[in-house]
Amino acid sequence: ADRDDKPHVAVLANSGLGHVVPLLEFSKRLVVGHGFRVTFLVVTTVDPNPAQDQLLNAPGLPHDLHVLGLPAVDAASVVAEDSRLLTCLCLIVEESLKSLKATLIELSYLRALVVDLFCTQAFDVASELSIPTYSFVTTSAMMLAFLLYLPTLDREVTGELVDLPGPVQVPGCPPVQLEDLVDQLKDRRNEEYRWLLYHVSRLPMAAGIFLNTWDGLEPDALRALREDSFYRQVPAPPVHAIGPLVHEDGNGEGLRSTDVECLAWLDGQPEESVVLVSLGSGGTLTTEQQVEMAWGLELSQQRFLWIVRKPTDASASAAFFSVGSDEEDDPTKYLPQGFLEKTREVGMVVPSWAAQVAILSHPSVGAFLSHCGWNSSVESLTKGVPMIAWPLYAEQRMNAAMLAEDVGVAMRPSVEEGRKVAGREEIERVVRAVVSGEEGKRMRRRAREIRESLIERLGPGGSFHASLAAVCEDWKTTKGRECEEELCA
């Protein structure tokens, strides 16, 4: 069909890579699998963001997917120096969305707008313009259940949530241990908490919620969201589990020279022998922890591929707004002296950013030490790779608990009483256990089962296509109905 005949949908993402990645994949699927034209609106800042640029300008994006950056925000002018991660993100979004109405008016007839969890201001704008609006929550079904329960928790609990006498019982979900609570909930007086509460309280305004998960992975949480009386009363919008959405690194296109080097190095390693160490788009270690990590990897005598960043004691998400920037380019400046020489035979170190999915897909990778961001978790599961859970911030501790305890594909290193970091011996132990131990074998079998269970879902006529097709049909017929009304008049 001619480009203009195709129904048009807009998708809105905040600037965080963990949001851009799945929303862009979602957009591609609307174009390639369901015949839409998509405008991908994205919050941008004036600061350089090389990893974001690389994704948004990838040569393999389909013709009918049009990326449109909203006017760049000067983060320094809207964010206070001591603002925490989510506050920064939300203030930047708020500033950016001031231009949303004008942008949406410019776009030709939109069948629907799909917005990221932290862009709920868009509900008001879209409602003025009568555009049906959906939410895309880029985390697990269990986390969505938790988020929908949060306003109730906020009303019912008076003190700090971390001082509750026992775990939080979210309707229809396993209990959440207090130490695994989302960062933002640990201090209710902080602005971050208010922002999270603000956005999640507005979720019921959505006409539907998309999740990057699937029934085979989270049957109980999804059933609860759809059937449990609590979520009916909220009321929770219809939930569409449309995963796994995995960014395939352009299938070879758009790989940088460092990525090609990593893949060539992996070609030379035995099957399932390498542990990939990668902490998401923003994760960083403290100086002390980074030293222990280097020692742990070395002592384990296992092969490793480490996507490494400059350590920092200020925050665990220090690279969030600047990942891929130049200052991290030279690991010899911040890795323990001699480490690179001593591990030359078994290790490969890449600064800052690499094509994670392409690496995880390589048969030489046998384990993934991950911060357990939801995208990384889904990627590891779809590639059948067992994990070492190294949660750092946001909801990563809840994801880690789920992967270790419910799904059975991850091991969590323990931190000794009185210490702030996981020591080198513990890192040595878990790396060995997962790459070459019995425990690792069991977890790998489980991860493979999950990968294999996806073959049918992803195949022709599988439920993967159907999970999105029903909503797409609704969107396509919206215009039909209006036309009919016009004809009848």
Catalytic residues: 19, 116
Inter-residue contact 119 to 14 (CB < 8 Å): yes
Sheet hosting strand 387-389, strand order edge to edge: 347-351, 303-308, 274-278, 365-370, 387-389, 410-411
- Smallest CA-to-CA distance from 282 within 353, 200, 364, 368 is with 353
- Smallest CA-to-CA distance from 374 within 130, 19, 45, 68 is with 19
> Looking at beta carbons only, is 248 or 474 nearer to ligand UDP?
248
Residue 376 beta carbon to ligand UDP: minimum distance, rounded to whole angstroms: 3
> Looking at beta carbons only, is 118 or 374 nearer to ligand UDP?
374
- Cβ neighbourhood burial of 102 (10 Å; 0-12, 13-18, 19+): exposed
Sheet hosting strand 112-116, strand order edge to edge: 65-69, 37-42, 8-13, 112-116, 133-137, 209-211, 239-241
Q: Report the alpha-carbon distance of residue 61 to residue 66 in Å, rounded.
A: 9
Encoded tokens for 143: 């986390």
Instruction: Kindly give the pairing relationship between strand 209-211 and strand 133-137.
Output: parallel
> Looking at beta carbons only, is 13 or 431 nearer to ligand UDP?
13
Residue 403 beta carbon to ligand UDP: minimum distance, rounded to whole angstroms: 12
Phi, psi of 8 (to 5 degrees): -110, 130
> Looking at beta carbons only, is 126 or 279 nearer to ligand UDP?
279
Encoded tokens for 101: 């109405």
> Looking at beta carbons only, is 352 or 467 nearer to ligand UDP?
352
Question: DSSP secondary-structure letter at 417?
Answer: T
Residue whose tokens read 């602005």: 191
Binding site for ligand UDP (CB under 6 A): 16-18, 21, 247, 278, 280-282, 307, 353-357, 373-376, 379
> Looking at beta carbons only, is 201 or 258 nearer to ligand UDP?
258
- Cβ neighbourhood burial of 311 (10 Å; 0-12, 13-18, 19+): middle
Q: Which residue is nearest to ligand UDP, using beta carbons?
A: 18
Inter-residue contact 396 to 371 (CB < 8 Å): yes
Q: Report the alpha-carbon distance of residue 313 to residue 315 in Å, rounded.
A: 6
Q: Report the alpha-carbon distance of residue 282 to residue 167 in Å, rounded.
A: 28
Residue 451 beta carbon to ligand UDP: minimum distance, rounded to whole angstroms: 16
> Looking at beta carbons only, is 45 or 475 nearer to ligand UDP?
45
Inter-residue contact 389 to 410 (CB < 8 Å): yes
